[in-house]
Amino acid sequence: MKRINETVATYFRYAMLSHRWEGKEPLLQDIQDKVLYELNPVGSMVKLQSFCKIACRAGYRWAWSNTCCINKSNSVEHQEAINSMFDLYQHSALTIIYLSDVPFLSKFGALANSDWNTRGWTAQELLASQVILFYQKDWTLYLDDSSPNHKESVAIMQELEYGTGIDRQAIVAFRPGMKCVREIFQWASTRVTTLPEDIAYSLFGVFGVRLRVDYGEKKQCALGRLLRKVIAQLNDGLAWLAMCLRTVTWWNG
């Protein structure tokens, strides 16, 4: 049974894509029941095809991209996907991080200045993933680092800590929960999302909570629901409420 379990687990290993959305990304309806590599390689379709090629060359039979692996027309599936996003990245065998604004042969420091570090969802993807590899615009490895996991690179982790403000130990070995609530809100306060509610939704998995997703509610409402859930699981609610009041500028931004 052990050998069978290992064989099945190896077969179903999957790679995830972490990236900054740009322009019109491929949706489920664009690729469903189609051969991906036969689709017109224009725009963001090239990114999806390149990601799948990299994953295939690395030995993975399955690849997951948040742009097209969720049926957003199904509200139940969409809500479940958002609440499960942290787990999807955490249980992946590899997360491929695509830096579209980092050109070929970039020097040390380009990662820290990438727009990828400014997005709300990418913080969760970085923290959840256990194995990551950074790829530049031309799909070559950042700093030509061919090690199996860039979380084991001291230089890259130091640069990432500088670029994100997230402690490198948290980047390497983060576990969801309530141990560093203040720091998590500080990390999120420097990031942006296309839809304002997503800044709260992108933190569900980081805190290890599940909440209703309601697009159309205001950012303050989404963050308020999240904070109430967090405070309910903390012993010193008044202290954390005071912390919240100190972040009122971000809250109302």
pLDDT per position as a tens digit, 46-93: 999 999 999 999 999 999 999 999 998 999 999 999 999 999 999 999
Domain span at residue 69 reads 2-173
Can you give the pLDDT at residue 203? 96
The residue among 173, 189, 204 that closes a domain is 173
Rounded Cα distance between 35 and 172, Å, is 36
Q: Tell whether 150 and 247 lie within a shared domain.
A: no
The 10s digit of each residue's pLDDT in 161-177 is 999 999 999 999 999 98
Residue 95 has pLDDT above 90, yes or no: yes
Domain co-membership, 43 together with 83 = yes
The domain boundary, picked from 119, 140, 173, lies at 173
If asked whether residues 59 and 111 sit together in one domain, one would say yes
Report the alpha-carbon distance of residue 214 to residue 91 in Å, rounded: 26
52 in the same domain as 78: yes
How many CB atoms are located within 10 Å of the residue 37 CB? 9
Q: What is the pTM of this model?
A: 0.92
Give Dmax (Cα) for the chain. 58
